[in-house]
Structures are given as structure tokens and as C-alpha cells.
Structure 1
Amino acid sequence: MPEQPVVRTTEGLVRGRWEPRRGQERSGQAQHGREAPGREPQEGEGLAVFRGIRYARPPVGDLRFAAPVEPEPWEGVREATAFGPVVPQSGPMPTGPAEPSEDTDWLTLNVCTPDPGAAGLPVLVWIHGGGFMAGASGDPLYDPTALASAGLVVVSINYRVGAEGFVLLEGAPANRGFLDQIAALRWVRRNIARFGGDPAQVTVAGQSAGAGSVAALLTMDAARGLFRRAVAHTVPGTHCTPALAAEVTAGLARLLGTAPTATALAEVHPWRLAAAVTELGAALPEHLARWGRLAHSGIATVPVVDGEVLPGSPWSALGDGVELLAGHTRDEFRLFSVLSGRHGGFTEKEARLALELFAPAPDGPDAYRTALPGATPSELLEAVCSDALFRVPSLRLAEANAAAGGTSYLFELALPAAALGGVFGACHSLDVPLAFGSLDSPTARQFLGDPPAPEVVRVSAELRQAWVRFATTGDPGWPAFDPDEQLTRVLDARSRTVRYPEQTARRIWAGHPLTAYDLR
């Protein structure tokens, strides 16, 4: 048996394992989407993979709801071959085991490197999505094999979500999940050279809540200097004011029969607290009159614009510009309407409420109806929710970054999913397996086909190569976005570079700032 890779981090030694590169053991996957039999990679010819490395101490006991604390050093060699435990999950579709683990070592990360003995390899740090209430770095969608085989050192992290990470609590810092991400980036700065990476060539990347995290990091002084470039796929427009966040915390505490403070909620088991967040999410429609857009969004625990950890919404508080790759899918909201069983079935009353809550006041609702004559209620609802929740925030981040002196590159994914006869369209999250090249993952096979069509393989190769080029050079391979030409790469069966394709949304939202959710 070949010797497994061992790396000395600043805290101690970790032992990973060698795994195949794309093109070795997995050579049969491109056509059939499944593992092909083959030999184990020999030392130095595969990828060195390290999983479950602690970047901060477990946030429990006296550290519950506290800012992350650097891990203590250890003696000997720690095995780093299994993903760390899943952070307590909330929501209708949580990630993780059927039976929650009592292991609280949640703040861990994973490293996949093509050569731990190299120097100066570009680094990509992945922040998963999940609505700020679920998700895990070990999801097969985030298989780093293809990206690492192309020369990147890929780091993926777990961070606190739901109540542990984002509920505003008296006696605790706000946005603890963002503080976890900064702690992970500091670990990368200290250690990534020991895995072959260049700490001066770090790209932070994320999708959905992960992209919202990337956008937030662009505004935070504590994150300055920890990364050079940023990738933000589908930036959500979900932030709330402290006043609204305080009412959400009070509502959560009432469900649990306790006080809305860090001290009181620290007495609640983490997974019971996560379940209470799920209960509160299911009851959000009852709070529509008071909580407005937040209640309609379906997510109670969103980042808080507290003025300290998060100084402001990214579109107004973004500091110095960076090299930014941003984008969204064409049919963002379709995923949620199909999964809820409502696609094509929304009523005029529901469309009117969505327009009232999410379209820019005062003329936005009429502007949507004028711009989309003959649209059904479902089409109107999907259009305004796609724009307000994802498409416009993604566009605005690219614009704000360019205005701050950075270089922005914009894309739209227009390639539809193959599932259910294409009813999902180019929906939310479809870009993730395409970018990672994880077309053999269970979710990708379900949505993109098994085996995937040739055009899916081509778009995946283009987007994955764009990530690698961008992380290496700062240029994904198409022209930069500017406010005049608005050049955007549309990824489709026949990809093309055109003027930003969602001009209707851009015109309707022109001159209207994106604001944090507040009390009505």
C-alpha cells in the first residue's frame, strides 16, 4: 500500500488519503456517470484529500453562540479521512443523517490538492448554500475532484447555519456564520502553503447562501486581505434589520418557552433549536402582516445588517472592488415552484401579493404587468421572485463591484434541466454540478440526465474551465461587464456573449435600491 499523505498544519499533523484524479479510476464516469473499477492511485500520482480538519473549536458549552476560537494544538497525527459532522440543520430539506450526530465538532474544513509538495497553486475556498439554515461541505455535488485535477487546491468548509449561526441574540455576536467563514479563511492563510497552495492567490466562491456569504465578506473589514478574487453564483437579496431580527428571535423563544437571549437558548439542545427554526419557518405566513418580505421568503434566520459584523447590504456597503465572477440562472424561482407542487398553479391573489411585496415601490407591480402582457399569475410570480430574490441582487453586485474599482464578469445559465421534460428550466442550483463537474452525483443525475446529454457536458466543461481560469488569472474567458455594454456570457447549448439578457428586470429595478427586510 502506498504511504498516505501527511501534512503539518500550524496546530498539528493530519493524515489524509490519495484518491484518483479525473481520468484515472474515474475514466468511465464521463459517459456513464458511475465509478469505474480500477487500481488505487500510487503516492504522488493521485489527489491528496484531507477531510474534517478542525479550523475552530467546537462552538458548544461556554463557546455556544460565541465568535469562533482557534483550535488547540494536538500531539501525534490526526486522521483526516472523513467529513466532519453536519451542523444542526433546519428547513424542509435539511442536509445530513437521518439521526443527528451528537458530535459537535462542526467547524471543520476539507482540502483537496493535486500536489501537497507543490508551491504556489491557486486556491478556491467553497462556501456551500442552503438558505443560511442548512447545507454541508460533504455534499457529493461539491466533489472537488475535477477542479483539483485541473490544478486548483480546493477547500470546502462547514459553518454555523440557522439559529446557531444567524439568529440575533442578546449577549452574542451577530452573523456568527460569517465569523466562522472568516476563521476558516484565516486557517487557509496560515496553512494552505503546506498543501501546495498560494495564500496570496485565494478565490472565495459560493452559490445561493454561499454567494450571499461571499457578497457579505466583500463588505467586512475583518475579511480584507484574506482572499484576492470572488465567485458568487446566485446572490440572494435576503438580509434583515435588527428590529425584524429581534422579533424573529422572540418568536423562536416563544416556541421553546424560554427567553430570547444567548444564555437562555444555550440551554436548548442544538438539534431541538434547529427543529424550532423549522417550526417557525412553517409558520411564517402567520406573520405576513408584520414581517412582510421575510415571511413570504420562507426563511426566518437570515443575516442581520447589524452595523458591526455586517456593516450594510453588499450593494451599498461594498468596499474596494475585487476580481469578481458573478451570475445567476435564467429561471431561478422555478425550482421552488416545482418542488412545492405549485408551478403553473399560482392564483391571481398570490401573484398580486408577490408583486406588492417584492416589486420595487410604487410602480413595480404595474411595470411587471406592462412588461409581461398576457403573463399568467404563475409567470408573474416567478418573474418577480426570481428578480427580487436572486437575479437583480447578482446583477447589482457585479455593478457595485465595478463601480468600486473592481473587475466584474457576469454570466447567465440558460441551459434547462432535463428532468420532468424540462419543467425545471434553468433553475436555481443547476449551475453547481456544472461548475464542479460533478455530473455523476445523485442530484446531478436526477436533474441533468444519466448519462448527461452532450450539451450538458460541454456547458459543464466551459463553466468549470472558467472557474479554473478565473482562480488562476482573474479572467474567466469572456469580456468584463461594464454599465454601458453590459456584456454577459449566456451558457447554453450554444453559449454566446451578449448584452445582459434580463433587460426587463434591469429597467423595472433601475433607480431602486435593494433594501434589507424590515417590519411592515
Structure 2
Amino acid sequence: MTTNNAPQSAVPSDGPVVRTVTGSVRGLQENGLAVFRGIPFAEPPVGELRFAAPRPATAWDGTREAYAFGPPPPQDLGIQGRTGVLEALEGDDWLTVNVWTPAPDPSARRPVMVWIYGGAYKLGHSGSPGYDAQRIARDGDVVVVTLNYRVGMEGFAQIEGAPANRGLLDQVAALEWVRENITAFGGDPDLVTVMGESAGAGSVSSLLAMPRARGLFRRAVAQSVPGTFFSLELAEDIGRALAAEAGLRPTVADLATTDPRRLPDVGQALGAKMLQYVDRWGRIAPTVTPFSPVVDGDVLPTTPWQALASGSARDVDLLVGHNRDEFRLFLVMGGMYGSITEEQATGALRLFAPGGEAGERAYRAAFPEASAGELYERVQTDWLFAMPSLRLAEAQVAGGGRAHLYELTWGAPGSGGVLGACHGLDIPLLFGTFEADLANLLWAGAGVTPEAEALSTRFRTAWTAFARTGDPGWPAYDTTDRSTQVLDTTPAVTAYPEETSRQLWEGCDFVPSPLLR
């Protein structure tokens, strides 16, 4: 028997076949790689499994055709291009993995790199063209796995009767699939690196702190770690507000009556008016993202910074960093770049800087020549991505582990060069997918320059070297020299470049965002 999950026109008869623990899969030979798409690692989380922890996939007879990406999980519309898919099917089989391998030879034992997509915990799909991993697998001679996990209300809303952090539990289930199956694809289950960007980096950071994930990976790459982790009390309050948008209670019994493809509308409706909740939800409200990992005391016992500082991941090598101009992307996409007022800057500084009004004064004193727009951008880059990423490296070192730190300072050439080293720029540089996702902004009017290609190669060389050896090619971070790899046209290792911001945030703990009274 053959199980068909791809268009008939795409079905060859001589593709590579691999036996997994649940059945055989047939892939495609593409550009010197064997590629397998849409392999289930868990049962579809619908019906009786709605809002439940993932359950292992049911075995099948015969050979399953692994030619097409599995369907995306229900999600927000999001950033244009981020939900773009390549040959993706419709259906409920959201929990699937994809594998790129130089050869499915069980004796090869190549390093394995597992990518976890970002998207504010409310959107994302491993089939997005920007995550085509062929260049990483081919250039680095590694096996690359990408995976789907539940986002939005399905994956992260706090719901009575459901486990917290279901999206994170999906990721653990996918890593368990890797441990059990990757040898057959030519990978080494003892040499697994998890990596992700933005919410994907927040997920990687969470996995470092989760007892359920212990032992499933040897190394971790976290690109632009967001500092948004919810306390249980805050998550429950947001869960009530989400359910109220649908006229329901935040319970499995109520919410399971709603089609999962309609629930993203609830998240979007609440996101559009989150600023009304700033007195209750604080810094979280302006993010318009009502989803994040929840420090629930069980699935996620503590924040990643607390866990790493206590030594929870001292046996895991860490590569972590951020982009210099992270928040610029959101200013440009929101039509706010170049139009921030002093009043807006003051409001942002008092809300996001540590210390409220004292934090505002400290930022203005530290950056005396900065305009209102520069201050507005700087403090939001710092609190949302830069300082959480830096602190993750510092926590890992404090806990007796090893960390390598980087900052991307090369600016995107498109859109008149205004984007700088913005959020998300590292994705096409790592994957070499210059025509996908945010390409209409990042390269518009400029095209892919030789400098971009060279930096892209440098990304893949460093990331795959780290996956293989734990050394990306520059010194490990410590709190004396603060060695940081600056990724630009001319690479350099320096002390951490954002020292002014580091000092402003020194001594400020990253704790779960509280529910304000």
C-alpha cells in the first residue's frame, strides 16, 4: 500500500526511501540532496486531541510519499510572505517534519540542525520558502530538519483543562522523533543542534530550561531572543480576554466547539486593541501579540535566564546574538519610521526602560545626541531582543556553561537602506533564500549584492561549524572581555558593541511579565 500526501504530478517512482519507526517514507532527489517533506511526528491535534499534549503518530503500512510540506497550523495572517508556502496541503496534519540530507546513509552520522521558525508565537510554517534548507545542508554537509508546531490559541493560550505551552511540547515531540529516526537519514542523534529566530529563539531558550527537553540536543542557536515570557497569572488573564472575544469561556470544553481555523481571528481581534490593556499587561500590551511561553511551573518551571544561571544547560553549547537595529523593521512596516514625536519617545522610554521615569532619564543621559525616533527605537530594540539575547549568554556563563555571542551590524541594502540590520535579516542570510519572505523590503531596488552573498556564506560556515564542533570560529563570551563576533562586510571580534545599553540594563532581571493591578 502507498500513502499519498503529494500532488500526483509530483510523484516519481525512484526517490530515496527511508524506514522510520512509524513506517517507510519516499522522498525526492533535489540538487544533490535527498529531501523528505511532511512526515508526521504526532497525531493531528484535533477532535479528542484538541488542546492536548502531542501524541505520537500512528504507524502506517507500505511507503508514504514525503514530497509535500504538511499543512500550516491555524495562524494569524501576519507579515506578508511569512505564511507563504511551497506545495503545502490543506488539512489537520499540522505536526510534521521535513528533512534535507546529503545522503540517507545510516553510517554517515552527520551533524543534525533542527530549525524552529519564529512568528510572534502566532504564525509560521516550516514550508515557508525562506526556510528552504538546501544550502545549509549542502554547504555544511549536515542534515537539516524543520518542523511545525502549534501557534496562537492552539499552541500558547492558557486554557483551563489543557497543558500550558502546547507549542513547546510539540517541539519536544519533534526532537524525540529526531532522536528515534535521524540515524536512518544519515544524521547523528547525539550531535543535534536546535536553532531558531525570534519566537523560534524564544522557543530554543525555553527548551534549554525544560526538563522534558533535557538530553534531546547537544547545542543550541538562539537568534534574536525575545524577552516576552508570561507569568501564569498574566497568561490566565490574557486567556480570559481571548476567549471573551469569541463569546466563550477559556476552557477546553468551550473553545473546542470552535473550528481551529477561526480562532486566529480571535487573536487578531484582541491584538488590535491590546493597548487598552496597558494598565494590566504593561510592556506586553504594545506588542499586539497575546501569546508567549508561560512560566507555569511545570512544562516551563522558570525563565530561561533563571534556568541557565542555575546550570540547567551547562552541558549544552550556546550560540546566541541579535541584530543591531532590531526594532527598525516594525517602525518601517508600521509607517512610523521618521515620524516619532518626543511624546511617543517619552512614553516608550518610561514603559520599556528599567526604572520608569528614572530609566527615561538614564537613556537620555546615555544617548544625549539621539533624536526622539532613535530613542524610541533603541529602547524597544534593547528590551525586546538585544538585552534578552545578551543576558542569555551571560546566564549560560554564570551557570558554568559555554556561550558564543554575535551581533549582526550589516544593513539590508533594499528600500533605500533605511532598514539597517533589522529584525529578521539574519534568516535569508543564513538560509541563502534571498527571494523569500521579507525580500520585497530587504532587497527592494538593490538586489542581492556580492556583500550579501559573502555574508550569507559566512553565516552558514559559522553555524554549521558550531553544529559540528561547538566552535563557530570566534572566542567564547565571558564577562571580562565580552568577546562578540560582529557580522558585517568585514567581520571582527570586539568587546560587546552595545556597551552603553548593557550598562543601562545591568542588574535588571528578566522575570516573567506580571499581571499589573
Common fold: TM-score over 0.5: yes
Deviations 1:491-514 (A, max 9, x none): 111111100000011000001101
Taking the aligned partners of 2:442 and 2:84, their CA distance within structure 1 comes to 22
SS at match of 2:136: helix
1:267 aligns with 2:257: yes
Aligned residue for 1:39?
none
Aligned residue for 1:130?
119
Aligned residue for 2:455?
459
Taking the aligned partners of 2:60 and 2:89, their CA distance within structure 1 comes to 23
Alignment of 1:147-296 (within 5 A): 147-150=136-139, 151-296=141-286
Deviations 1:410-433 (A, max 9, x none): 111001011111100100010111
Q: Which amino acid aligns with 1:413?
A: L
1:417 aligns with 2:412: yes
2:486 to 482, 487, 490: 490
1:376 aligns with 2:400: no
Deviations 1:312-342 (A, max 9, x none): 1111122132211111000000000000000
Unaligned residue ranges in structure 1 (runs of 5+)? 21-45
SS at match of 1:271: coil
- After TM superposition, give the deviation of residue 272 of structure 1 in Å: 1.1
2:381 to 383, 386, 393: 386
Alignment of 1:466-505 (within 5 A): 466-505=462-501
Taking the aligned partners of 2:459 and 2:83, their CA distance within structure 1 comes to 28
Q: Which amino acid aligns with 2:276?
A: E
1:400 aligns with 2:395: yes
Evaluate the alpha carbon distance shift between residue 252 and residue 209 of structure 1 in structure 2; reply closer, same or farther with a 3 A threshold.
same
Aligned residue for 1:27?
none
2:330 to 328, 336, 346: 336
1:320 aligns with 2:313: yes
Say if 1:92 and 1:278, in contact at 8 Å, map to a contact too: no
Say if 2:84 and 2:128, in contact at 8 Å, map to a contact too: no
Q: Which amino acid aligns with 1:519?
A: L
Taking the aligned partners of 2:210 and 2:224, their CA distance within structure 1 comes to 20
2:66 to 68, 80, 95: 80
Deviations 1:221-250 (A, max 9, x none): 110000000000000001111111111111
SS at match of 1:464: helix
Taking the aligned partners of 1:47 and 1:261, their CA distance within structure 2 comes to 45
Evaluate the alpha carbon distance shift between residue 71 and residue 79 of structure 1 in structure 2; reply closer, same or farther with a 3 A threshold.
same
Evaluate the alpha carbon distance shift between residue 189 and residue 480 of structure 1 in structure 2; reply closer, same or farther with a 3 A threshold.
same
SS at match of 2:340: coil
SS at match of 1:292: helix
Say if 1:445 and 1:451, in contact at 8 Å, map to a contact too: no
Q: Which amino acid aligns with 2:499?
A: Q
Taking the aligned partners of 1:300 and 1:441, their CA distance within structure 2 comes to 27
Q: Which amino acid aligns with 1:104?
A: D
Q: Which amino acid aligns with 1:109?
A: V
Q: Which amino acid aligns with 1:356?
A: R
Taking the aligned partners of 2:440 and 2:470, their CA distance within structure 1 comes to 31
Evaluate the alpha carbon distance shift between residue 135 and residue 332 of structure 1 in structure 2; reply closer, same or farther with a 3 A threshold.
same
Say if 2:21 and 2:181, in contact at 8 Å, map to a contact too: yes
TM-score (norm 2): 0.93
Taking the aligned partners of 1:101 and 1:291, their CA distance within structure 2 comes to 37
Taking the aligned partners of 1:342 and 1:154, their CA distance within structure 2 comes to 38
Q: Which amino acid aligns with 1:72?
A: T
Q: Compare 449-458 and 312-321 and name the one that shifted more.
A: 449-458
2:38 to 52, 58, 64: 52
Deviations 1:97-123 (A, max 9, x none): 79x975110000100000101421000
Alignment of 1:82-101 (within 5 A): 82-90=68-76, 92-93=78-79, 95-96=82-83
Taking the aligned partners of 1:101 and 1:358, their CA distance within structure 2 comes to 41
Taking the aligned partners of 2:43 and 2:110, their CA distance within structure 1 comes to 28
Deviations 1:273-325 (A, max 9, x none): 11110111011011112211111122111111111111111111221322111
- After TM superposition, give the deviation of residue 92 of structure 1 in Å: 3.9
Taking the aligned partners of 1:251 and 1:468, their CA distance within structure 2 comes to 43
Q: Which amino acid aligns with 2:18?
A: V
Taking the aligned partners of 2:258 and 2:416, their CA distance within structure 1 comes to 45
SS at match of 1:516: coil
Deviations 1:421-448 (A, max 9, x none): 1100100010111111223436347513
- After TM superposition, give the deviation of residue 460 of structure 1 in Å: 0.9
- After TM superposition, give the deviation of residue 96 of structure 1 in Å: 3.6
User: Identity of paired residues, percent?
Assistant: 52
Q: Compare 485-494 and 179-188 and name the one that shifted more.
A: 485-494
Taking the aligned partners of 2:255 and 2:347, their CA distance within structure 1 comes to 34
Evaluate the alpha carbon distance shift between residue 115 and residue 445 of structure 1 in structure 2; reply closer, same or farther with a 3 A threshold.
farther
* Alignment: residue pair count: 494
Q: Which amino acid aligns with 2:313?
A: D
Aligned residue for 2:4?
none
Q: Compare 262-271 and 343-352 and name the one that shifted more.
A: 343-352
Aligned residue for 2:108?
119
SS at match of 2:295: coil
- After TM superposition, give the deviation of residue 8 of structure 1 in Å: 0.4
Aligned residue for 1:23?
none
Q: Which amino acid aligns with 2:455?
A: V
Q: Compare 120-129 and 395-404 and name the one that shifted more.
A: 395-404
Aligned residue for 2:5?
none
SS at match of 1:169: coil
Say if 1:141 and 1:444, in contact at 8 Å, map to a contact too: no
Deviations 1:370-424 (A, max 9, x none): 0111322211110010000000000001111112222111111001011111100
SS at match of 1:218: helix
Q: Which amino acid aligns with 1:85?
A: P
Say if 2:84 and 2:437, in contact at 8 Å, map to a contact too: no
SS at match of 1:270: coil
1:110 to 89, 95, 98: 98
Q: Which amino acid aligns with 2:394?
A: E
Say if 2:78 and 2:123, in contact at 8 Å, map to a contact too: no
Q: Compare 428-437 and 124-133 and name the one that shifted more.
A: 428-437
Taking the aligned partners of 1:191 and 1:427, their CA distance within structure 2 comes to 37
Taking the aligned partners of 1:485 and 1:330, their CA distance within structure 2 comes to 20
Say if 2:414 and 2:447, in contact at 8 Å, map to a contact too: no
Taking the aligned partners of 1:91 and 1:402, their CA distance within structure 2 comes to 38
SS at match of 2:121: coil
